[in-house]
Chain A
Amino acid sequence: RKEVEQDPGPFNVPEGATVAFNCTYSNSASQSFFWYRQDCRKEPKLLMSVYSSGNEDGRFTAQLNRASQYISLLIRDSKLSDSATYLCVVIPYNQGGKLIFGQGTELSVKP
């Protein structure tokens, strides 16, 4: 089993739709969680951190469920510009400086 798993998609949704991605992790000692966005093989860029209490940034909401060991990203009112690959990142506290990426979920927003 991979340490961090994501549904690779692609998710094809119309503009204005709400879409949700999940990311599961296997190491219960994981400490920090992030969502990154990557456009067409360009460099990943931070979208948002994921806090225990859940957090929101405009149309984006991130949540953490430690009991079930997953994080989620919800995108409301999808825009064409949201089309990208979304990567979840997990940092375990007991593995030195390692960062573990999921394989990414591809989102395509259509007009």
Chain B
Amino acid sequence: EAQVTQNPRYLITVTGKKLTVTCSQNMNHEYMSWYRQDPGLGLRQIYYSMNVEVTDKGDVPEGYKVSRKEKRNFPLILESPSPNQTSLYFCASSSSDRFSYEQYFGPGTRLTVT
């Protein structure tokens, strides 16, 4: 089954404790992306990757890191989480022609930073 998986689905953590949210896709997609969704603000792009070893900032990259060492995986790293990073996070992937093809989203990770 074609899918994007994220782990964990729910996470409560404390300020400053490093965490990683994993994202994996089995569709051999070149393009992957991370978003956060907050009430009234919609989805905002954090980082994206056009292919292995190629990453770039989206609209809200501050406080986040990513890596793309393998085509299928695109982890999101919060080195020192803060309460303003409490949000719903989605990972997505698509074929390289992102202008034409749909984004496939993972189920989301609900993160709470206290």
Main secondary structure of the interface of B (DSSP, over half): strand
- Tell whether, in the assembled complex, residue B42 and residue A98 are in contact, meaning their CB atoms are under 8 Å apart: no
Give the size of the chain A interface in residues (CB under 8 angstroms): 26
Stretch at the interface among A14-22, A38-46, A57-65, A68-76: A38-46
Q: CB distance B42 to A91 under 8 Å?
A: no
Q: With contacts defined as CB atoms under 8 Å apart, how many contacts are there between chain A and chain B in the complex?
A: 64
Complex formed: what's the CA distance from A89 to B40 in Å?
16
Q: How many residues of B contact A (CB 8 A)?
A: 27
**Contacts A98-B58, A99-B45 known; 9 new A-B pairs at CB < 8 A:** A32-B98, A32-B99, A41-B108, A43-B105, A43-B108, A46-B102, A91-B98, A96-B56, A99-B33
Residues of A within 8 A of B (CB): 6, 8, 31-32, 34, 36, 41-46, 49, 87, 89, 91, 93, 96-104
